[in-house]
Amino acid sequence: MPTLIVTKNGVALRNVRLLEGELRIGRSASNHLVLASATVSKAHVVLTRHGHFVTLHDLHSTNGTLVNGDDVSVRPLLDRDIIQISNFEMMYLDRDLASAEILEDPPPEPVVEAVETERAPLEPAMGVDASGHRIGGSRGAHWVGNGVAFALPAQGREIQALITDDALASHFGAYVHASDGASRAVSAYEENYVAINVAAWSRYDATHREPIIVRSSDF
C-alpha cells in the first residue's frame, strides 16, 4: 500500500498510508492530513489513489505545490517523488511501511444547500484487438479519474501504465471533461494503443520505473 512520509524542516512527523480514494491535505481541520501553517491553504492539495496509481491535484492553493522542485497543478506520482508544501515535505513511496498509520476521516462539512453536480464519467466497456486479445492487458484499458490505465505484457507479467488525460487530449483529441469523458478517453487509447504502448515502452526503457506514466512530452 502506498505511503506518505511527512516531514517539516527536515524533522520526521508521521508516516501515512494512502487508501483507495482521496486524501485531502491542508490547514483546515476538514482535511485528512492537517498541516498547521499560515502559508498552507485551508484546502491545499488532494491525493487520489486508483489502484496502482496516485495523482496529486493542487486545489488552487495560494502558495502552490512543488513535486521534485517543479510547480505543479496535477501530477501522477512515482516512487520517491518529493512533494513540498510550504516548509513541509512529503516523500511518496509505492510500498507499505510498518510504522504507517491510517488517518481518520475528517468531520463532515455542513451542507449549505443541495447543488446538482455534473455526472461522473461512465465506466466504458473493454475493447479487444483483431485477434480477440483484450486491449490494455488482462483487465483491459480503464479510466482511473485522471487518465487511462493499461498494462504491458513483459515476460510472464504485466507492467502497469497510465496515459494522462492531457496527453490523450493534446495528441489524440480525447475531450475527457464531459459526462462521457471516460468512454472518450478509453476509446482514444484503444484506437491509438500501438503508438501509446510504444511511448510507454520508451519511457520504461529510459527510466525503468514502475508504474509507467506517459505524459504529453513523451510523444
Question: Concatenated DSSP letters for 116-161?
Answer: --PPPPPPPPPPB-TTSPBTTSTT--EE-SSEEEEEEEETTEEEEE
Question: Is pLDDT above 80 for 32?
Answer: yes
Q: What is the mean pLDDT of the chain?
A: 89
Q: What is the mean pLDDT of residues 199-206?
A: 95
| Per-residue confidence (pLDDT) for residue 112, from 0 to 100 | 54
- 104-127 core/surface letters (b: 16 or more CB in 10 A; e: else): eeeeeeeeeeeeeeeeebeebeeb
Evaluate whether 90 touches 76 at the Cβ level (below 8 Å): no
What's the pLDDT at 134?
85
Lowest mean pLDDT among 88-97, 130-139, 181-190: 130-139
Residue 77, pLDDT score = 95
Q: What is the pLDDT of residues 70-129, one digit of tens each?
A: 999 999 999 999 999 999 999 999 998 988 999 988 877 665 554 554 444 555 567 887
Q: Look at residue 80 in the predicted model and tell me its pLDDT.
A: 94
